């Protein structure tokens, strides 16, 4: 397998050529949002400049061309996650995808959808299981669904080393469990969770599985049907694509049975003043005008990722990950969140605390050196609370980061405590 040449790839990302605060930009905030290669930017501009038209209304040439590009993009992005095109619903992002699922289940609970939708209906006392490591996007929609239906929300704890407490999961997931929602990779811990084990536990009690694949889609080869989950979401802007586009993957029989959440134009067959018949999935879940240029540019993004190769990307990021983690471990006063043993498979993402210095101060100190990291709770307050913190610093790398970037981070972090006069 040819090793990935991140130094060469950098040249494809125009933003990385900039200096920030008169320093070479060291962008280590890809878990928040990734940078975009020129090919993605060009694809979106070319569509807007040459083809832009309403899709699925093919009365004129450009509309027909736009429709072909849009549906080809669906097939391309679906293939990237191992799926067929009718298994991919466009959303505006992962948050929208999870809300779509939760509200659809809520609609099934109040009797909407066909007879096959009843299997999703929740009754008071039914249980929804999440993990302690959720991004708020995979937590609050379930809190809301539980509040609306009388279901009970439970969580799988996280060990001190950041791995999921699978033994606890085995006793938590019971005949009462109807939904098990979990992240493939937490945006704070970076550890690849054991999807297969959780799917087996959920399937053994007939529960629906929902995978938050936001942090895995840009970093590891992904085959959602092979993982066996019922539903999964991912976000385009984290995988070299534009904002406001994401995907919801569903097994065909699940998408066919779920009632819609958003309703309106483009998702119907026949409408009277009193009722409407809906199109099959995926269009049933795509009411209103879709993010067309963004979908087409996301297809260019996954083409870019595939051309580099997801296996090579993961291998490269493992090298960066080890360098970052081993380096951080050596710096005095650093506490890593979820510092699992080296054998645990993960992506190049580390959240840490510099003891005695507020995360925001660390962020500013690094920013002055051109190093972009994220600080705060990273939309994962319960997980920070579990580690006894309110905020952390998170460095997250991607295919365009080099070992030099990691060394600049380590050099920066090692100067923080003395700069702020912390001696203890
Ligand atoms: N889940 C995880 C694990 C995430 O990292 C994010 C983005 N920070 C989301 C969900 C939400 O994605 P979006 O804001 O793009 O909808």
pLDDT digits (tens, 9 = 90+) for 272-309: 999 999 999 999 999 999 999 999 999 999 999 999 99
Region class of 111: left (phi > 0), else alpha (psi between -120 and 50), else beta: left
The answer, yes or no, to whether the previous bond of 282 is cis (omega within 30 of 0) is yes
Distance 235 CA to ligand 1 centre (A): 7
Identify the residue whose C-alpha is closest to ligand 1 atom 8.
Answer: 32
Selection from 15, 53, 52 nearest residue 34 by Cα: 15
Counting from 1 in the atom list of ligand 1, the atom nearest the Cα of 96 is: 16
Distance 135 CA to ligand 1 centre (A): 7
In the chain (424 residues long), the average pLDDT of successive 10-residue segments reads: 87 96 96 98 98 90 96 98 98 98 98 96 98 98 98 98 97 98 98 98 98 98 98 98 98 97 96 96 97 98 98 98 98 96 95 98 98 98 97 98 98 97 85
Selection from 33, 72, 64, 49 nearest residue 295 by Cα: 72
Query: What kind and span of H or E run contains 381?
Result: helix 381-386
pLDDT digits (tens, 9 = 90+) for 126-168: 999 999 999 999 999 999 999 999 999 999 999 999 999 999 9
Counting from 1 in the atom list of ligand 1, the atom nearest the Cα of 238 is: 15
CB 241 within 8 A of CB 36: yes
- The ipTM of this complex is 0.99
Counting from 1 in the atom list of ligand 1, the atom nearest the Cα of 93 is: 16
State how far the Cα of 238 lies from the Cα of 255, in Å rounded to an integer. Answer: 24
Distance 256 CA to ligand 1 centre (A): 26
The 10 Å Cβ neighbour count of residue 410 is: 18
Residue 94 Cβ < 6 Å to ligand 1: yes
Query: What kind and span of H or E run contains 265?
Result: none
């Amino acid at each position: 397998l040819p090793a990935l040449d991140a130094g060469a790839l950098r040249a494809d990302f125009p933003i990385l050529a900039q200096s920030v605060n008169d320093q070479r930009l060291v962008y280590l905030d890809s878990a928040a949002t990734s940078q975009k290669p020129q090919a993605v930017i060009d694809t979106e501009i070319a569509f807007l400049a040459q083809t832009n038209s309403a899709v699925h209304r093919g009365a004129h040439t450009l509309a027909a061309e736009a429709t072909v590009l849009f549906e080809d993009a669906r097939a391309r992005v679906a293939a990237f996650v191992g799926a067929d095109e009718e298994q991919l619903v466009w959303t505006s992002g992962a948050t929208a995808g999870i809300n779509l699922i939760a509200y659809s289940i809520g609609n099934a609970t109040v009797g909407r959808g066909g007879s096959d939708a009843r299997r999703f209906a929740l009754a008071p006392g039914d249980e929804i299981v999440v993990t302690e490591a959720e991004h708020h996007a995979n937590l609050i929609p379930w809190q809301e669904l539980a509040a609306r239906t009388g279901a009970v929300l439970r969580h799988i704890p996280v060990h001190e080393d950041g791995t999921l407490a699978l033994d606890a999961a085995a006793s938590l997931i019971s005949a009462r469990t109807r939904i098990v929602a979990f992240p493939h990779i937490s945006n704070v811990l970076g550890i690849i969770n054991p999807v297969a084990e959780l799917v087996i536990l959920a399937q053994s009690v007939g529960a629906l599985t929902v995978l938050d694949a936001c942090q895995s889609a840009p970093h590891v080869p992904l085959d959602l049907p092979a993982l066996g989950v019922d539903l999964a979401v991912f976000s385009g802007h984290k995988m070299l694509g534009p904002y406001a586009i994401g995907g919801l993957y569903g097994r065909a029989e699940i998408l066919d049975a779920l009632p819609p959440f958003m309703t309106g134009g483009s998702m119907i067959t026949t409408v009277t003043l009193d009722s409407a018949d809906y199109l099959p999935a995926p269009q049933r879940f795509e009411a209103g005008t879709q993010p067309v240029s963004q979908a087409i540019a996301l297809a260019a993004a996954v083409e870019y990722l595939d051309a580099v190769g997801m296996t090579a990307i993961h291998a490269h990021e493992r090298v960066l990950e080890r360098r970052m983690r081993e380096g951080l471990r050596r710096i005095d006063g650093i506490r890593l969140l979820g510092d699992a043993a080296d054998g645990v498979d993960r992506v190049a993402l580390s959240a840490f605390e510099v003891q005695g210095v507020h995360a925001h101060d660390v962020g500013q100190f690094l920013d002055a050196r051109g190093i972009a990291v994220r600080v705060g709770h990273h939309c994962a307050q319960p997980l920070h609370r579990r580690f006894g913190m309110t905020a952390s610093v998170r460095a997250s790398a991607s295919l365009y980061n080099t070992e030099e970037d990691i060394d600049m981070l380590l050099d920066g972090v090692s100067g923080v405590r003395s700069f702020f006069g912390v001696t203890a």
